[in-house]
Amino acid sequence: MPNLKSIKRKISSIKNTRQITKAMKMVAGSKLKRNQSAMNEFRTYASTYDSVIKNISDNTVLYSHPFYGKILKKREGGNGSNTGIIIISTDRGLCGSFNMNLFKLFFEELKVREINSSQVKLYILGKKGSDFFKKHNYEVVFNKSFSESESAINLSVLLSDSISNDFKENKIENIYIMSNQYISTLHQKAYAEKVLPFETQAAGKNKKSGGYLIEPVDYEEEIIDKIFKDYIQTKIYFKILESFAGEQASRMNAMDNATRNAGKLINKLTVSYNKARQAAVTLEILDIINGVNAIK
């Protein structure tokens, strides 16, 4: 027969856990609204910058610029080139499969794109990503946690500078960014996107011959250099904001499921407790009856 005190202790413990998960769900919901707002406000700016870069990539006017030509140069991928991969994870857990889906995507992309793992250089944001890849002995070039940084925008500036410098110095030939894409409150999807080199059409095909005038000419290189660096920083910053929103949505859903499961477990244990108590009462009654019969 189950121990009544043991069952009662379990019920009390699970009730305390349910209170914690319920509170965490409410906190995550509050943070989600704030992060959703920041993400949506910045989305238009990031989307516009994507269009600017696409227009530049389809334009031949700037091809003579050394930095522009260097970035748009078709580089050989595959096993013989170093590949930089940006991983945007989280600092904290208790957010369901949010991080594990990202890590699973990483290994899938290496296989699909035929990237040699020994040639991979990682740029990691988030403590969970750092802990995971250190265990797998990957080369981590850049590693920062959000809790130790002043702000997400400063972190995106540091990372974009590191990536741009490594790319221009040929330390890496291709750069991908992997993060969780925020689709809805109930749906977040791990997503990989190529950042550098920029995709361009074949030479001489559907190219524009004009549309850009840079003045003064003496600052042309600095201006183009700033455009590209700002684009990379903008891309990273938006992915961070999107990851923040997705993390809170995933944590809210995970805590909601945990709260529901705790309630089901409490009901199940309560039924077991009542049955055990009823059995104990029945045994006591039988003992009394047997005692009375023995006296007679």
Average pLDDT over residues 236-263: 93
Report CA-CA distances (Å) from 39 to 36, 119, 181: 5, 33, 11
Q: What is the pLDDT of residue 218?
A: 66
* CA torsion through residues 224, 227, 231, 232, sign: positive
User: Does residue 211 register a pLDDT over 60?
Assistant: no
Lowest mean pLDDT among 52-56, 70-74, 145-149, 216-220: 70-74
Q: What is the pLDDT of residue 254?
A: 93
Length of the chain: 296
164 versus 294: the higher-pLDDT residue is 164
Q: What average pLDDT does the structure give for the chain? A: 82
Q: How many CA atoms lie within 13 A of 284 on its CB side?
A: 6
CA distance 98 to 246: 8
Q: How confident is the model at residue 28 (pLDDT cuts 50, 70, 90)?
A: very high
Report CA-CA distances (Å) from 289 to 56, 133, 278, 283, 284: 95, 68, 17, 10, 9
Q: What is the pLDDT of residue 119?
A: 86
- CB 163 within 8 Å of CB 232: yes
User: Going by C-beta distance under 8 Å and a sequence separation of 6 or more, which residues neighbour residue 14?
Assistant: 262, 265, 266, 269
- Percent of the chain at pLDDT above 90? 36
Q: What is the pLDDT of residue 204?
A: 46
278 versus 289: the higher-pLDDT residue is 278
Q: How confident is the model at residue 225 (pLDDT cuts 50, 70, 90)?
A: confident
Average pLDDT over residues 29-43: 91
Mode of pairing for the β-strands spanning 83-88 and 120-125: parallel
Q: What is the pLDDT of residue 98?
A: 92
User: Does residue 144 register a pLDDT over 50?
Assistant: yes
- Percent of the chain at pLDDT above 70? 82
User: Does residue 84 register a pLDDT over 80?
Assistant: yes
User: Going by C-beta distance under 8 Å and a sequence separation of 6 or more, which residues neighbour residue 281?
Assistant: none
Lowest mean pLDDT among 67-81, 240-254, 257-271, 278-292: 67-81
Q: How confident is the model at residue 23 (pLDDT cuts 50, 70, 90)?
A: very high
Average pLDDT over residues 148-170: 85
User: Does residue 282 register a pLDDT over 90?
Assistant: no
Lowest mean pLDDT among 57-71, 123-137, 249-263: 57-71
CA distance 167 to 31: 35
User: Going by C-beta distance under 8 Å and a sequence separation of 6 or more, which residues neighbour residue 182?
Assistant: 39, 188, 242, 243, 245, 246, 249
Decide which of 3.30.365.10, 3.90.1660.10, 3.40.1380.10, 3.30.360.10 is the CATH code for 16-256: 3.40.1380.10
Q: What is the pLDDT of residue 256?
A: 93
Average pLDDT over residues 265-294: 80
The pLDDT tens digits for 117-138 are 888 999 999 999 988 998 888 8
Q: What is the pLDDT of residue 67?
A: 39
